[in-house]
Amino acid sequence: MFLKKKIRMLNDFLKNTIKIMSSSSLAQLTVICITPLLTQFFSPEEFGIYAFYISVCTIFGSIANGKFDIAIMLPKKNIDSVNIFILSILISFTFSVLILIVLYLFKNLIFRNEYVVFVKLYYVFPITIFFIGVNSSILSFFNRQTAYNEIAKNNVIKSTTNSFSSLFLGIKKIATGMIIGNLISLTVTLLVNFSYIKNKINKRDIKRTLIISNFIKYIDFIRFSTISNFFNSVSSFGITTIIILFFGPKVAGLYFLAEKIFAVPISILTSSISQVYFEKASRLFYRDKFELLQLTLKIQKNIFKILFPSLLFLCLLGEILLNILGEEWSKAGAILKFISVYILFKNIYSPISHIGDILNKQKQLLLFNFSIFSFQVISFVALNNFNDLKLTLLTSSFFGAVHYILLDYYMKKELKKMI
């Protein structure tokens, strides 16, 4: 009986992972197919400006809801998760309004030189940040409801509307087409998602007392996880902005393209597993911690078997593959070699990254993310005089990989103590 239950649980895990991964694969296939066309209408500099916009919005969007999107998964009662969901939207709105006020007052000071285009378009940042924060909460709500079909739909709609609207605007020779395309995709995705959610939430379940009590109960997420996730996002997405500061938007555009074509498809697998893992791990933590450890180890073992040969292949042939986009763009393939070690170990840990939230290790995650961010910035500052992007990326990648190896070891050690 126990064996049958375990097999059924594993089958459900695989089925739900494949469901999300299939939609993500379709979404990223669209991106990969459209990207060669986008390079014909947008220059490396314009890719660099777009990368700056995406990086900043992703960094601040990841903390816009105070990380209460993670808390949505944790309560035993669904009514609590509903009120946390509403709370996360309210926090996202408040945070975005504050960003809007700051940019309105200081836009001429913030957006200078390469970023002057945003003096008139400053409002795209708070709007995008709000949409990202809300969408993150929606995905957690879907995960809580095991609504994996909706998560799959979310992936496809967001990617296809972004790709095709950007291409259309590129053909129309609109320099900010990729930025506008991203806004269009986020808007369409949210409208579709809310059409589903409004039928799943009973307005009578939304109570101010429960919103306040859950805010107090999970206050550590806003106290520690927001800062922690900020540094994590900066170390992941802010590298593009750092490259702009030290090497200019053209080089940043090449780096962004390399990551978009090679690193992002890898995240299809890891993010799909991560979403299903979070739901299963949250339940196993209360029922069977040994089984949770076994699930964690098995996932990482299989991820390594897939990632290592894939990255090796891309490192060897990436420059040749990207040469089809033009000689200038082939340099993006060369960049991949110098960040591959970081990509490997980050994505081995990524599928089980929610284990830190489940084990209530927000303080430790804050220390980790601050440390990895600091080492990456130090790498760029210390090696700035050499003006060598490859050496800088290699050094930054090495420190990033070491951090993820140590974090992975620590989390599994802490889990073993509880068994």
Whether 27 has a pLDDT exceeding 50, the answer reads yes
Q: What is the pLDDT of residue 328?
A: 62
Per-residue pLDDT at 2 = 46
Structure tokens at 142: 């879907």
Q: How many CB atoms lie within 10 A of CB 248?
A: 15
Residue with tokens 């800088």: 392
Pick the range with the lowest mean pLDDT from 69-73, 86-90, 246-250.
Answer: 246-250
**Residue 235: predicted pLDDT:** 66
Distances (CA, A) of 171 to 29, 174, 294: 21, 8, 51
User: What's the pLDDT band for 154 if we cut at 50, 70, 90?
Assistant: confident
pLDDT band of 179, cuts 50, 70, 90: very high
Q: What is the pLDDT of residue 9?
A: 52
Q: What is the pLDDT of residues 214-244, one digit of tens each?
A: 999 888 888 877 887 787 777 666 566 677 6
Checking if the pLDDT of 391 tops 80, the result is yes
109/322 Cα distance (integer angstroms): 37
Q: Does 336 score more than 90 pLDDT?
A: no
Per the model's pLDDT, the better-predicted residue between 126 and 159 turns out to be 126
C-alpha neighbours within 13 Å on the C-beta side of residue 325: 28
Q: What residue ranges in 230-366 does DSSP mark as E strands?
A: none
Tell me the per-residue pLDDT of 304-334, one tens digit each, with 9 for 90 and over: 988 888 878 777 776 676 666 666 666 666 7
Q: Give the whole-angstrom CA distance, residue 140 versus residue 148.
A: 11
The domain segmentation of the chain, as residue ranges, is 2-417
- Report CA torsion sign: 348, 264, 353, 220: positive
pLDDT at 11: 58
For the segment 261-265, the average pLDDT, to the nearest whole number, is 64
Do the Cβ atoms of 241 and 55 come closer than 8 Å?
Answer: yes
Q: Is the pLDDT of residue 257 over 80?
A: no
What rounded mean pLDDT belongs to the chain? 82
Positive or negative, the CA dihedral 371, 74, 263, 115 is negative
Q: Model-level pTM?
A: 0.71
CA of 61: how far to CAs of 9, 58, 83, 131, 169, in Å? Answer: 33, 5, 20, 8, 25
Which structure tokens are listed for 185? 């995709």
